[in-house]
Amino acid sequence: MEMRSHLGRVRGLGSSNDGVGHWWLQRITGVALVPLTIWFVYSAIGLAGADLAQFKTWVGTHANPVLLSLLIFTMFHHGQLGLQVVIEDYVGSEKIKLTLLIMTKFTAIIFGGYSIFAVLRLTLGG
């Protein structure tokens, strides 16, 4: 429900558009990351000093590729949401702010997408 007056909205007063959706997604991704990061730390410990063959075996075992992909997706999503708040809080200039916001979003999508694709290639491809 819209609680703000039309004049207030036009003048850009009050909250900036979609705070609740952001807040909620940050919590949801945060909750999902609790088990995912614990699983990953546990797994990464076993991969200290591993070679490619050992790494590939681990990536391909049981639910590992799914969990790793979910971790990467959720981690970059949560990270982007967090960096967005930091940028919005500390960067004064609207131009620099918008540039940084777009850059962090693109970077998260590119690196997240590429590493999930890498997981698929390691498990399905030759």
Partner 1 sequence: MATRNRPLSPHLQIYAKQVTSVLSILHRITGVTLAFGAFLLANWVISATYGADSFAMAQGVLGSWFGRLVLFGITLSLFYHLGNGIRHLAWDMGKGFELIQLRTSGMFVVAFTLIMTVLTWIAAYSAAGAN
According to the binding rule CB under 8 A, does residue 2 interact with partner 1?
no
Rule CB under 8 A: which of 103-122 touch partner 1?
A: 111-112, 114-115, 118-119, 121-122
CA distance 25 to 43: 26
According to the binding rule CB under 8 A, does residue 45 interact with partner 1?
yes
Q: Which of 116, 118, 88, 117 is nearest to 102 (CA)?
A: 88
Rule CB under 8 A: which of 57-86 touch partner 1?
A: 59, 68, 72, 75-76, 79, 82-83, 86
Question: What is the closest distance, in whole angstroms, from the C-beta atom of residue 101 to partner 1 in the complex?
Answer: 14
CA distance 65 to 108: 20
**At residue 7, what are phi and psi to the nearest 5 degrees?**
-65, -45
Nearer to partner 1, 59 or 101 (CB): 59
Q: Which of 123, 21, 32 is nearest to 76 (CA)?
A: 32
The gap from C-alpha 31 to its chain's centroid, in whole angstroms, comes to 13
Kindly tell me which residue out of 2, 51, 92, 124 binds partner 1, with binding defined by CB under 8 A: 51
List alpha helices for 48-93, DSSP H. Answer: 52-60, 64-90
Binding site for partner 1 (CB under 8 A): 11-13, 27, 30-31, 33-34, 37-38, 41, 44-56, 59, 68, 72, 75-76, 79, 82-83, 86, 94, 111-112, 114-115, 118-119, 121-122
